[in-house]
């Protein structure tokens, strides 16, 4: 059985540093049995970046979320797994106000990093949280999760204006804030090809070969740690040559 100490050792061996800005996509099932369960995994992640910033997606894009089009950051369940859902409930965690693609964060500068998402009109614009990952030279950990879950690549495609990625019409969401409801219309992810994120893992062999990602075991989970800025630059070059790079495998 994995423990806090063994997970801490695994995360450190992978190369995660105390001052990192770290975004984590996760699969608790892949990690396996842990003494203390999912809360212990969160404890290990928080301790590993104890002088930095830890971020987890707390997305609410599934149809059963945001009933009546109202997103309440304080109570709305996440739809992307048990670790994000437990994380968002933790004391000290700040959650962004994006109605479909929120992030939760704890640590250095969390509130500033996550501020202003209510002013966005697409899921992952360059001027929002996902763009700040690039500015912060963040690292992205796929903790047992496949690179198909790479929301950051949705963002990179948005920045490059890739066609057939964003809906032509907006969906009206409202956000419940301490001062009342505010409107936040969103041009949501949409492609005539279906879910193109299923092709995002085609970049994995290249980023591992170039050394801008590394892989190792964390608990029972094969895990990949990526350098956000270098990955975005590489993907941007691919998209510059072939805008439909992720249309197919």
The tens digit of pLDDT for each residue in 114-146 reads 999 999 999 999 999 999 999 999 999 999 999
- Within-domain flag for 247: no
Q: In this predicted model, what pLDDT tens digit does every residue of 45-84 receive, in sequence order? A: 999 999 999 999 999 988 777 778 899 999 999 999 999 9
**What is the reported pLDDT for 65?**
76
pLDDT of residue 218: 98
Distance CA 113, CA 111 (A): 6
Residue 200 falls within a domain, yes or no? yes
Contacts of 233 (CB under 8 A, 6+ apart): none
Report yes or no on 183 lying in a domain: yes
User: Across the chain, what does the average pLDDT equal?
Assistant: 96
Q: In which domain, by residue range, is 161 found? A: 4-241
Residue 58 forms part of a structural domain? yes
Rounded Cα distance, 102 and 79, in Å? 11
| 246 located within any domain | no
Residue 178 lies in a domain: yes
97 domain residue, yes or no:
yes
How many structural domains are present in the chain? 1
Residue 96 predicted with pLDDT over 90: yes
Question: Does residue 100 form part of some domain?
Answer: yes
């Amino acid at each position: 059985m994995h423990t806090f100490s063994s997970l801490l050792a695994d995360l450190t061996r992978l190369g995660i540093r105390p001052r990192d800005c770290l975004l984590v996509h996760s699969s608790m099932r892949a990690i396996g049995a842990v003494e203390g369960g999912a809360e212990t995994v969160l404890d290990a992640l928080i301790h590993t970046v104890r002088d930095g910033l830890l971020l987890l997606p707390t997305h609410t894009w599934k149809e059963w979320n945001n009933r009546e089009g109202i997103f309440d950051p304080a109570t709305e369940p996440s739809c992307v797994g048990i670790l994000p859902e437990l994380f968002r409930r933790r004391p000290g965690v700040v959650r962004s106000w994006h109605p479909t693609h929120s992030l939760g964060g704890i640590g250095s500068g969390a509130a500033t990093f996550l501020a202003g998402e209510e002013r966005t009109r697409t899921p992952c614009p360059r001027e929002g949280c996902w763009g700040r990952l690039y500015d912060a030279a963040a690292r992205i950990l796929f903790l047992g999760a496949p690179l198909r879950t790479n929301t950051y690549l949705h963002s990179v495609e948005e920045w490059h204006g890739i066609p057939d990625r964003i809906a032509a019409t907006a969906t009206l969401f409202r956000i419940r804030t301490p001062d009342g409801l505010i409107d936040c219309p969103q041009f949501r992810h949409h492609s005539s090809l279906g879910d193109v994120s299923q092709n995002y893992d085609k970049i994995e062999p290249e980023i591992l070969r170039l050394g801008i990602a590394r892989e190792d075991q964390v608990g029972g989970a094969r895990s990949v740690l990526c350098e956000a800025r270098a990955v975005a630059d590489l993907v941007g070059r691919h998209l510059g040559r072939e805008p439909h790079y992720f249309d197919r495998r």
